[in-house]
Amino acid sequence: MTVPAVMSAMVLDAPHQALAERQLPVPRPGPGEVLLRVRACGVCRTDLHLVDGELPEPRLPIIPGHEIVGQVVATGSGAGRFAPGQRVGVPWLGWTCGECEPCRSGRENLCRRPRFHGYTVNGGYAQYVCADERYCFPLPETFDDAHAAPLLCAGLIGYRSYRFCGDGARHLGIYGFGAAAHIIAQIAAFEGKNVYAFTRPGDLAAQEFARRHGASWAGGSSDLPPTALDAAIVFAPAGELVPAALAAVKPGGVVVCGGIHMSDIPSFPYRLLWEERTVRSVANLERRDGEEFLPLAHRAAVRTEVELFPLTAANEALERLRAGRLSGAAVLVPG
Ligand SMILES: [Zn+2]
Ligand SMILES: [Zn+2]
């Protein structure tokens, strides 16, 4: 396949700035890497946290994007897992050291020297990207490029959050009904669980969106659900939702915080945590999450709702996400 010398990319030079459109050299795949022509890249809330300077020590300048669907166009030395022409997905986790204590104890998501796409190594807001082939996933053919993109972070992190709710959780609350929630609600419904969706109070459109995607009940975040919850996932980056979710879960229940960044959690009475309720966070992903989740998304016939933007409209897509004016997930499609 012929690969051009230069590509278009959207680059973050410094926080609190719009991304800049640049012509950059197409990267060359290093040992063990594949070079991908990007066919679609999802826009994740983490990208917004990056632009807003809410994530520590990004490598700047950086090309954001970690929900990448790409076609292999070249391989580096020693890379043989995927053939040129094959379609793969690239998530947030780009590389781990394999040597630190978390890596050696099977918790690569907590690696002390990790690389993350779109944060410490370049991501998919570009026409081409390189990725370590060991961290790429084959994608089920049932999803076209744009509809597959949100599976790679919203889906994966959502799945990891869902997993921590426990198999026994029958009544599951979801606070913040965006890209991750609309995927995980479908998985939960497929597995016979009841999903209760909590949106910004009065956001009837979001509540209707939630009901269309597997929620059996939808209401405002200050409402109590019709039945006590076994577990709740907080996807919205709003710390005040943690005590609200604790108030809605049963004794022994868990509240899982699914985001990479959240505003401060206000103090709350101990009785909300009493009776062995748990609050926990989810950090990054393990490859195992993708190996389990992507086939499950295929079996559950998950339908992602996407809104397409040209690559050069990345700033507009981010602003729409910030304003909550997206139903489903924004996906960039390079020309
Ligand atoms: Zn490590
Ligand atoms: Zn993400």
**Ligand 2 center–CA 1 separation, angstroms:** 30
* Omega before residue 61 within 30° of 0, cis: yes
Each residue's pLDDT, cut to its tens digit, for the chain (335 residues) gives: 789 999 999 999 999 999 999 999 999 999 999 999 999 999 999 999 999 999 999 999 999 999 999 999 999 999 999 999 999 999 999 999 999 999 999 999 999 999 999 999 999 999 999 999 999 999 999 999 999 999 999 999 999 999 999 999 999 999 999 999 999 999 999 999 999 999 999 999 999 999 999 999 999 999 999 999 999 999 999 999 999 999 999 999 999 999 989 999 999 999 999 999 999 999 999 999 999 999 999 999 999 999 999 999 999 999 999 998 887 899 999 97
What is the distance between the alpha carbons of residues 98 and 135, in angstroms, rounded to a whole number? 13
Angle (nearest 5°) at CA 207 between 203 and 211: 170
Crossing angle of the two packed helices 287-299 and 154-163, in degrees rounded to 10 = 100
pLDDT, residue 224, reads 93
**Ligand 2 center–CA 83 separation, angstroms:** 27
**Ligand 2 center–CA 29 separation, angstroms:** 23
pLDDT, residue 1, reads 73
Strand 33-43, strand 20-25: pairing: unpaired
**Ligand 1 center–CA 110 separation, angstroms:** 7
- b (16+ CB within 10 A) / e for 221-252: beeebeeebbbbbbbbbbebbbbbbbbbbbee
Angle (nearest 5°) at CA 197 between 193 and 200: 170
Strand 306-310, strand 115-116: pairing: unpaired
Residue ranges matching CATH 3.40.50.720 in the chain: 156-281
**Ligand 1 center–CA 286 separation, angstroms:** 12
Which CATH number applies to 156-281: 3.40.50.2300, 3.40.50.300, 3.40.50.720, 3.90.1150.10?
3.40.50.720
Output the pTM of the full model. 0.95
What is the distance between the alpha carbons of residues 101 and 3, in angstroms, rounded to a whole number? 40
Residue ranges matching CATH 3.90.180.10 in the chain: 6-152+305-333
**Ligand 1 center–CA 136 separation, angstroms:** 18
**Ligand 1 center–CA 69 separation, angstroms:** 25
Crossing angle of the two packed helices 179-190 and 287-299, in degrees rounded to 10 = 60
Residue written as token pair 């410490």: 120
**Ligand 2 center–CA 271 separation, angstroms:** 33
Taken as a whole, the chain contains a residue count of 335
Ligand nearest to the CA of 106: 1
- For residue 170, CA distances in Å to 8, 145, 212 come to 47, 32, 19
* 6-152+305-333 fold: Quinone Oxidoreductase; Chain A, domain 1 (3.90.180)
Q: Are 10 and 20 in contact (CB under 8 A)?
A: yes
pLDDT, residue 326, reads 87
Beta strands in the chain (DSSP E): 6-11, 20-25, 33-43, 68-75, 87-90, 93-95, 115-116, 128-132, 137-138, 171-175, 194-199, 217-220, 229-234, 249-257, 278-281, 306-310, 329-333
**Ligand 1 center–CA 31 separation, angstroms:** 19
H/E run at residue 85: none
**Ligand 1 center–CA 259 separation, angstroms:** 21
